[in-house]
Amino acid sequence: MNTANGTKENGRSEETPAPGPPQPVHIQDIRFTKIFIDNKWVQSSRGRTFATFNPATGCKLCEVEEADEEDVDKAVAAAKAAGRRGSAWQRMDACSRGKLLHRLADLVERDRLLLATVETLDTGKPFLQSLFIDLDGSIKTLRYYAGWSDKIHGKSLRVDESFMSITKHEPVGVCGAIIPWNFPLLMFMWKIAPALSCGNTVVVKPAEQTPLTALHMGSLIKEAGFPAGVVNIVPGFGPTAGAAIANHMDIDKVAFTGSTETGQLIQTAAAKSNLKRVTLELGGKNPCIVFADCDLQLAVEDTQTGAFYNQGQCCTAASRVFVEESIHDQFVRLSIENAKKIVVGDPLDPLTSHGPQIDQQQFDKIMDLIESGKKEGARLEYGGTPVSNKSLFIQPTIFSGVKDHMRIAKEEIFGPVQCIFSFQSQEEAIRRANSSRYGLVSAIFTSSMDRALSVSAALETGTVWINCYNSLHAQTPFGGYKMSGIGRELGEYALAEYTEVKAVTLKLKEAV
């Protein structure tokens, strides 16, 4: 999964020291467990904490301060003050904002081993994926938007001889960011980097299952030199802290990544409060169309990586694979052979490529959907069972003979389940691929670029990958059609989500 482009060295300011070598990390090194408001570490207003667990072992990692509505109010007040006209943040020139983002990227590079280890402990994802994908993508996202900070500008518009207009792109204001548990560090960067590049202030609520890397980022934001109140981090639960952000009258925009159902609640709350802007990156039931003229081994490997990456806990999961009838049986056979090579085990072991599900609730949901597939007549080709009776590990699972009416064909599983369908014609494949309430991503595997471009034009998804999968880059916009979301993250397109356009019109003096 490629999450960004660019070189790590790009843009480092002369006064910024090169980060030192990574150091080993232990559980006792988890030091940041409080709420981060106004560049201070504070306790919960009500004195509550909650535990975060290692899903691979079930062991408690630590207790984290639990933010609720009162704490969110304090965070919003700090963010609003930091964004006021005349504040240190607003007086800062755009180039200096970029330097701060580069400095933050330097600090993330310095702490990348620690952050990757904490991410693996908190999420259960394999360590090498945390280190080389999540951390790499996080750093490149920061550097990409650091480069945009002094390039956000409007236009001059000559209306006629009497009037001229100019446009200005101004910060939206206080931005709430509600991030998910599957990519907690990377989604933190996807939210704060464009927001800060445009001059906004931010209140971030990390997922209650995985708050630790977001809280560590609070320490780095302070160390980097961001003014107090520019970034605030409120760990807590969706119905309390998350709802407080969505309903807050002084939050001007909310960016959310998560389920479609929660996204609907956030949009409703935004409309009923102050009509705050909303960016929603939601669920997916993503189709891959594999034509007979494709590179078959590539298609097998990429669709399976798409299905099983991060234990299938991805909105981009390749969960519906439509294979042309003439190569269907060969595709299934090769997919089974490929799945047998996946190493399930300790996420901290460098050999492991498949870890546990995040928690018992997700585990039970996945197993229920696997059982529904069996009952509804799909053929279980591989996996389909827990690794043991007392763990959250599920074997990578392959179904063939899947029909469009089955639950596993319609519902977002968010687990390691690959569903393989058969099709006869291109028109049939397009029709069935589009027959979903979701429209996040899709993929096409073919050696014909004419066919690839024709099919990509017909697919109702925000992203189409051709002969690849999960190719995400900081430069490329990401978001969905239909019930997969509203707005775009990443790339230049994301800047529009974090700016207001102001038109200023001048009456010109008549020439003598």
- Looking at the annotation, which residues are catalytic? 281
How far is the C-alpha of 430 from the C-alpha of 412, rounded, in Å?
19
Tokens (6 digits) for 195? 């927001």
Report whether 377 contacts 401 (CB < 8 A).
Answer: yes
Report whether 120 contacts 349 (CB < 8 A).
Answer: no
Question: Three-state DSSP class for 335?
Answer: helix
Tokens (6 digits) for 147? 């480069």
φ/ψ of residue 480, rounded to 5: -125, 165
Helices 112-123 & 94-110 angle (0-180, nearest 10): 70
Residue 121: which H helix or E strand, with range?
helix 112-123
φ/ψ of residue 178, rounded to 5: -115, 115
CB atoms within 10 A of CB 388: 8
Report whether 203 contacts 245 (CB < 8 A).
Answer: yes
Report whether 99 contacts 147 (CB < 8 A).
Answer: no
- Parallel, antiparallel or unpaired: strands 463-466 and 277-281: unpaired
- Quickly count helices (H) and strands (E) in the chain: 16, 22
Distances in whole angstroms, Cα of residue 9 to Cα of each of 2, 97, 102:
18, 18, 9
φ/ψ of residue 387, rounded to 5: -70, -35
- Amino acid in position 376: E
Report whether 392 contacts 356 (CB < 8 A).
Answer: yes
End-to-end CA distance of the chain: 64
Burial readout 289-316 (b: 16 or more C-beta within 10 A, e: otherwise): bbbbebebeebbebbbbbbbbbbbbbbb
